[in-house]
Amino acid sequence: MNRQETVLSRRQMLKLLSLGAGGALLAACAPATPAAPPATEAPTAPPPTEAPTAPPPTEAPTPTPEPTPTTGPRVNSVGKVLPDDAAPPEQQVYVTAGQGNPGQFMDISAMVYNRGALSDLYGVPLTRINKDFELVPGAAKEWKVSEDGLTWTFTLRDDIMWSDDTPLTADDFVATFRYMADPKSAYDFTWYYSKGSGNIKNFDEVVAGKLPVEELGVRKGANDYELIVETGEVTPYLPRLFMFAMPLQAKALAAHGPAYNSNPATCVSCGPFIVKEFSPTRVEVVANPKAADDIKPFLERMIAVPFPDSFQAYQAGQLDFTGVSNAAQVDAVLNDPQLSAQATPDVGDFRTDYFFFDVTKPPFDNLKFRQALSHLLDRESIVKFITKPLLARPAYSFLAPGFPAANGEALKDIQRYDPELAKKLYAESGVKVDKLLLQMRGDLEGYFGKEITQAYADSIKQNLGIEVEVKSVPIKDYMADLLKRTPDGKPDTTIDFGYISYGMDYLDPSNMLTVMKGSDLGGRHTWNNKEYQDLLAKAGPMTDIEERTKLYQQAEKLMVEECAFIFCIHRTPVNLWKPYIKGAPMEPGKVNLNRGVAWPGVSAMNGAASEIYIANNVLEFRKSIP
Amino acid sequence: MARYILGRLAGLVFVLLSVSFLTFFLMYNTPGGPFDEINQPLSPEAKANMMRKYGLDQPFYVNWWNWITKAVQGDFGISYYYPNTRVIDLFSKYWGSSLMLGFLSVAWSFPLGVVLGVIAALKRNTIVDQIITTIALVTVTVPIISLIFFGIAIFVIGLKWFGFNNGQPLYQQPPNAWVLPAFIFGLGTVGALARYTRSGMLDVLGQDYIRTARAKGLSRAVVIMKHAMRNMLIPLVTVFGPVLANAITGSTFVEIAFAIPGIGRFFLESIYTRDYPVIIFTVIIAATMLTISNLLIDIAYTLIDPRVRLGGGH
């Protein structure tokens, strides 16, 4: 045996070490194997009672000593029977990017705009909507209104328990409403229950510190399960509005403050889930074993990782759901058969993107000039070439198809694309301008805003010879400017010509149309039309739905004719759902015609969090659970 | 030396006071604020409640002074957006991810950059030199955002060899969550270091004392390792400070792209959301790090080069 055969040269040794190190690195970087079941943490499932597990066969014993598979229904850790096509409990994990908001509050009643991922799963709102946006009972099993229409009595279910074994009662709702109105809370969504919206009696006065919280028009009724809500005006849509009335537990609120659900140690839930892990970059919730039977979820866990780019994370197989919101993502979806099969358009929150003017300043105080501009927006081409029909519909009015009192077809002609008419109206207006500044709210860039505003600017330049500079402004700066008021309350905005959007908070025309009520009444735009304001005021309290709808349609027609707003697109956001997400909320509905959970998503407000599950084809797609 | 260090530390206090004052001025005078309405306007009363609750109804200099008096006691406030969490706790939790990412990237890129630079200098004007110079040029000139884009498209979405971070600190993650970010983040440093080292080494190799050492009969390896490399250390130490500071505080793009919960990501989010307590704390930390790293570099000079004396020495 010579030395050459037995001893490695230094060069060979280095090669081997390099290969070994490289191999180790690649092995370490290989995708992880599917997550093991949380064997020790999940409580033991109670034995199924509906259909007992079949006894092991005795006539033909299996040749191997392995345990005989059970054939009865499978239950998850909180005792909910899983559907036949469901994956095993350990795979009942839904992974989402959350709401994308930075924030830590977990309840809409604590704070709205700084809610974290997986919020609103820890209570049962007074009312709910179903997948077809129909009003259904929530924590309140029934409600009635007094003859004068000002006093509502909500009868609460008596079988909803908090996870600390105390019952959900009217006291919790009273404490929640008092928290929202209390000036010390500085709640960020007070407008929702204020005059002109929720109209809750004394709400504005309490917010302003003129009355104590005890004077608020929300109080306990004859017993623990009766809640009385008084309104300052007749508010027939109040039950719809109360889908956001998510209770905070009075005891926890007093002991730990409004963010008690951001801490697993202080979290108390009567909803489908309870918080297990919380950090700004990851939230994990588990099924609430104390939830009422119909509220208990099929899912064992929900995990939220607020990926900065959820579309990429979905493509990488790390998410079960994502939205599609820009041209590059649309192309990626359309060019990928697998993604295309998973993509479904959705009505979302019936959002409409629109242009607006400061009608108090020239040249936009000139109706004919505004009308001229309204005829230069080629919505059909925008939808065909920019957004693609998958993601938007042309908007000729504010209320999107499917929204109560929507009337787009009848109003289609008023702001139609007609460059010749535009030129004629411009000539008649007497306006002579060379240049305009169009300011877009920055977040609309995420929904083709740049392309749309540029197309519109080009159309104005081409037909009227007016140069339009387009400027995108970050949302916070934009809204600060738009809502700037002089000390005496007059608009003081520099946005004369803007592009913005709005989506509903509750499914009633009053919600969408009051956005345009005008700055005199606390609205965000400067179009203060008395006739429009009167129509809204008259329609709001009406209980005759047909007559009410007529008034709202009349108001919307007036708004379209006045051209203070030029409506551009109704969004139909496309969502991607992994094929293994199933359940009743995923099925096509009457309003949302495609597969996918409708607005507001997987939440306790629509019951979807309790009803979706992971189907048994999950392992064809999911490599691991993050 | 001690007097010099004390003087520099006193200067640091002045720097931090100035930086914090300027930051408060800019934060409070930039349009928009932390609690601007996104959709529907709040009533003036509700808005006033919000401003009062967070002290935003006070002038910036009052808030600056309040912050200073609390900061010297170790209280840096509570984030507007994470009300259960003190700013210092937020940083304690996520600092580790940025540190790990920074150190990993420096750990592989700094030595490799130096080695490549030395090789390029020793093989001057050969094909090896040209290849190294080209690679260095590409890694320096291609923006990191492009490298991130290609890295994610190929290795995360396409081949699925690597993944995005799952929201937990980097040091709790398997290697497939940190290898690619650390590699991409270090690429620019490799190129910069290789170019810097090559240029410095060529300068040193042209010096008389190198020729003398060779003439004395010393081997090439000894000359390079003992004489050339030691003199190369001074310019390398000069760049090591900023490289390290950038590695720890400059990983914002990488952190965001790979969903890594580090301070860079929080800093950017805090600017977007106008989370003043987080902004001011991050700025102060970054300023402190940069100042201290410069001080340490100055001290390191004295250890490497006996000719350098600090604090007025001869």
The ipTM (two decimal places) reads 0.80
Q: Is there a contact between A564 and A370 (Cβ–Cβ < 8 Å)?
A: yes
| Residue A152: φ, ψ to 5° | -105, 140
Distance from C-alpha of A224 to C-alpha of A216, rounded to nearest angstrom: 18
pLDDT attached to residue A102: 53
Q: How far is CA A23 from CA A8, A19, B182, B197, in A?
A: 20, 6, 18, 31
Residue A174 sits at the vertex; the CA angle it makes with A171 and A176, to the nearest 5 degrees, is 110
Q: How far apart, in Å, do the first and last CA atoms of chain B sit?
A: 12
Percent share of chain A, pLDDT over 90: 72
Read off the pLDDT of each residue in A282-291 and give the average, rounded to a whole number: 96
Q: Is there a contact between A257 and A184 (Cβ–Cβ < 8 Å)?
A: no
Q: Where residue A62 falls among pLDDT bands split at 50, 70, 90?
A: very low
Helix, strand, or coil here: A354?
strand
Mean pLDDT (chain A) is 87
Name the DSSP letter for residue A448: T
Q: Where residue A582 falls among pLDDT bands split at 50, 70, 90?
A: very high
Q: Where residue B265 falls among pLDDT bands split at 50, 70, 90?
A: confident
Q: Which of A428-432, A469-473, B272-276 has the lowest mean pLDDT?
A: B272-276
pLDDT attached to residue A412: 96
Read off the pLDDT of each residue in A300-320 and give the average, rounded to a whole number: 91
In what helix (H) or strand (E) does residue A369 lie, and over which residues does it extend? Answer: helix A367-374
Q: How many CB atoms lie within 10 A of CB B152?
A: 23
Q: Which of A2-6, A195-199, A377-381, B79-83 has the lowest mean pLDDT?
A: A2-6
Mean pLDDT (chain B) is 87
The encoded tokens of residue A534 equal: 């009167």
Q: Which residue has the tokens 């006996």?
A: B306
Percent share of chain B, pLDDT over 70: 96
Query: For residue A111, is pLDDT > 60?
Result: yes
Q: How far is CA A617 from CA A59, A91, A238, A579, A580, in A?
A: 33, 10, 42, 8, 6
pLDDT attached to residue B43: 80
Q: Where residue B250 falls among pLDDT bands split at 50, 70, 90?
A: confident
3-state helix/strand/coil string of A273-341: EEEEEEECCEEEEEECCCCCCCCCCCCCEEEECCCCCHHHHHHCCCCCEEEECCHHHHHHHHCCHHHHH
Query: For residue A5, is pLDDT > 60?
Result: no
Cα–Cα nearest to A477, from A495, A453, A490: A495
What's the pLDDT tens digit per position in B197-237? 999 899 888 889 888 988 888 888 888 888 888 788 777 88
The encoded tokens of residue A549 equal: 């709808």
Q: How far is CA A386 from CA A12, A354, A381, A461, B29, in A?
A: 59, 16, 8, 19, 38
| Better-predicted residue by pLDDT, A495 or A54 | A495
Q: Which residue has the tokens 């738009």?
A: A482
pLDDT attached to residue A99: 57
Query: For residue A386, is pLDDT > 80?
Result: yes
Contact A25 B162 (CB under 8 A): no
Of A28, A280, A481, the CB nearest to B31: A481
Cα–Cα nearest to A248, from A149, A175, A328, A187: A175
Contact B259 A281 (CB under 8 A): yes
Residues near B94 by Cβ (< 8 Å), separated by ≥ 6?
A281, B169, B261, B262, B263, B265, B266
Of B44, B164, B261, the CB nearest to A316: B164
Any CB–CB contact under 8 A between A381 and chain B? no
In what helix (H) or strand (E) does residue A374 lie, and over which residues does it extend? Answer: helix A367-374
Any CB–CB contact under 8 A between A24 and chain B? no
Query: For residue B104, is pLDDT > 50?
Result: yes
Contacts of A313 in chain B (CB under 8 A): 164, 259
Contact B80 A263 (CB under 8 A): no
Q: How many CB atoms lie within 10 A of CB A5?
A: 6
Residue among B161, B162, B166, B260 with most chain A CBs within 10 A, to mutate: B166
Helix, strand, or coil here: A498?
strand
Contacts of B94 in chain A (CB under 8 A): 281
Contact B84 A263 (CB under 8 A): yes
Contact A103 B269 (CB under 8 A): no
| Residue A441: φ, ψ to 5° | -70, 130
Read off the pLDDT of each residue in A374-396 and give the average, rounded to a whole number: 94
Query: For residue A68, is pLDDT > 50?
Result: no
In what helix (H) or strand (E) does residue A559 lie, and over which residues does it extend? Answer: helix A545-562
Which residues between 46 and 105 in chain A have a beta carbon less than 8 angstroms from any beta carbon of chain B? 102-105
Distance from C-alpha of A124 to C-alpha of A118, rounded to nearest angstrom: 14
The encoded tokens of residue A242 equal: 């109360």
pLDDT attached to residue A319: 93
What is the DSSP track for A229-275? EEBSS--TTHHHHGGG-PPPPHHHHHHH-TTGGGSTTT---SSSEEE
Name the DSSP letter for residue A168: P
Q: Cis peptide leading into A509, omega within 30 of 0?
A: no
What's the pLDDT tens digit per position in A492-522? 999 999 999 999 988 899 999 999 999 999 8
In what helix (H) or strand (E) does residue A13 lie, and over which residues does it extend? Answer: helix A10-29
Helix, strand, or coil here: A558?
helix
3-state helix/strand/coil string of A29-63: HCCCCCCCCCCCCCCCCCCCCCCCCCCCCCCCCCC
Read off the pLDDT of each residue in A371-378 and give the average, rounded to a whole number: 98
pLDDT attached to residue A4: 37
pLDDT attached to residue A31: 39
Alpha helices in chain B (DSSP H): 2-29, 44-53, 60-71, 87-122, 127-141, 144-151, 179-205, 208-215, 220-222, 229-249, 252-257, 263-273, 276-304
Q: Which of A96-110, A175-189, A351-365, B97-111 has the lowest mean pLDDT?
A: A96-110
Distance from C-alpha of A524 to C-alpha of B71, rounded to nearest angstrom: 39
**Residue A448, class by beta-carbon neighbours within 10 Å (0-12 exposed, 13-18 middle, 19+ buried)?**
buried
Residues near A423 by Cβ (< 8 Å), separated by ≥ 6?
A372, A463, A464
Any CB–CB contact under 8 A between A520 and chain B? no
0.90 exceeded by the pTM? no
Any CB–CB contact under 8 A between A317 and chain B? yes
Sign of CA dihedral A94, A95, A96, A101: positive
Name the DSSP letter for residue B257: H
Q: Which of A46-50, A384-388, B144-148, B280-284 has the lowest mean pLDDT?
A: A46-50
Query: For residue A67, is pLDDT > 60?
Result: no
Contacts of A483 in chain B (CB under 8 A): 36-37, 41
Read off the pLDDT of each residue in A431-449 and give the average, rounded to a whole number: 94
What's the pLDDT tens digit per position in A239-271? 999 999 999 999 999 999 999 999 999 999 999
Q: Count Cβ neighbours within 10 Å for each residue of A278-294 and write b for 16 or more, e otherwise.
A: bbbbbbbbbbbebbbee
The encoded tokens of residue B183 equal: 């590699």
Q: Count Cβ neighbours within 10 Å for each residue of A585-623 and write b for 16 or more, e otherwise.
A: bbeebebbebbbbbbbbbbbbbbbbbbbbbbbebeeebe
Query: For residue A14, is pLDDT > 90?
Result: no
Q: Which of A509-513, B47-51, B97-101 has the lowest mean pLDDT?
A: B47-51
Distance from C-alpha of A3 to C-alpha of A52, rounded to nearest angstrom: 73
Q: Where residue A113 falls among pLDDT bands split at 50, 70, 90?
A: confident
Q: Where residue A43 falls among pLDDT bands split at 50, 70, 90?
A: very low
Q: Is there a contact between A141 and A159 (Cβ–Cβ < 8 Å)?
A: no
Query: For residue B47, is pLDDT > 90?
Result: no
